[in-house]
Amino acid sequence: MNAYRSSAELKGMAKEQLFGRYGAVIGAMLLTALSALLSVRVCAGLATLLPASAGIAYFTALYLLSVIVLLFLGILESGSAYLYLKLSCHQPVSASDIFYGFRIYPGKALTLQSLVIILALICNAPQQIMAYLYRTSHYESIYLLLFAVASIAGYVLLIIVWLMLSQVFYLLQDFPHYSSRELIKTSCRIMRGHKGRLFYITVSFIPLYFLAFLSFGLGLLWITPYKKTVMANFYMDLMCSRPGQTADMAG
């Protein structure tokens, strides 16, 4: 019988793996933040080329530029998965590992991130529609209720989708020869029966993020790498503890 590690065990492993390596992971965090900030600044600069009086064209451009930033972050997410998988395997890591996704299969990372964005937009669409109807309709009380229902349903659906696709960037590092479709299918398959476990692990970090808020965000320098290492350990545990996992991957 294959036993999966508990949340406490995964966290204990993460603490041990991070010991003496916080310099590299904090450096990677800062590089990610700087890269994201620069991409936002560049996109904001491009947006100023269109005057606000351009109307729909201006807002369409802003929307498209924001999507570009999100796609760029997907490549960084691939590098992050690479870094933390190395960490979980007790391999040397460096801050520059965060850019690994630009060197190896950046197209697949873009495709995977595109799917995540599209699914998020689909989950959020009913909420946006009801919000528009609430603002423009005379039947405000009805649409306010529908907006609340759509919001709750959308967030629940978004969480489920995120849990199903949560392993795609880790799988990309282990199975780079897989197509984007195969990576998505594999993530959904290996997460069967484990979505609740991952949700519990994720929620268990909320008190730590509250403490980070009290520390004016400085605590994130410790909490974020800690959580990412736990998530990488979750993936490793998921793969290594699966009954017949080699055959499962071949399927």
At residue 202, the pLDDT reads 95
What are the pLDDT digits (tens) for 167-176? 999 999 999 9
Provide mean pLDDT across the span 93-113.
91
Residue 250 — pLDDT band, cuts 50, 70, 90? very low
End-to-end CA distance of the chain: give it in Å, rounded.
21
Ramachandran sector of residue 106 (left: φ over 0; alpha: ψ -120 to 50; beta: rest) = alpha
Evaluate if residue 140 carries a pLDDT over 80. Answer: no
Q: Please state the separation of Cα 30 from the chain's center in Å.
A: 17
What are the pLDDT digits (tens) for 43-98? 666 666 666 555 566 666 666 777 777 788 889 999 999 999 999 999 999 999 99
Q: Please give the DSSP secondary-structure letter assigned to residue 1.
A: -
At residue 242, the pLDDT reads 64
Whole-prediction pTM: 0.84
> Longest Cα pair distance anywhere in the chain, in angstroms?
66
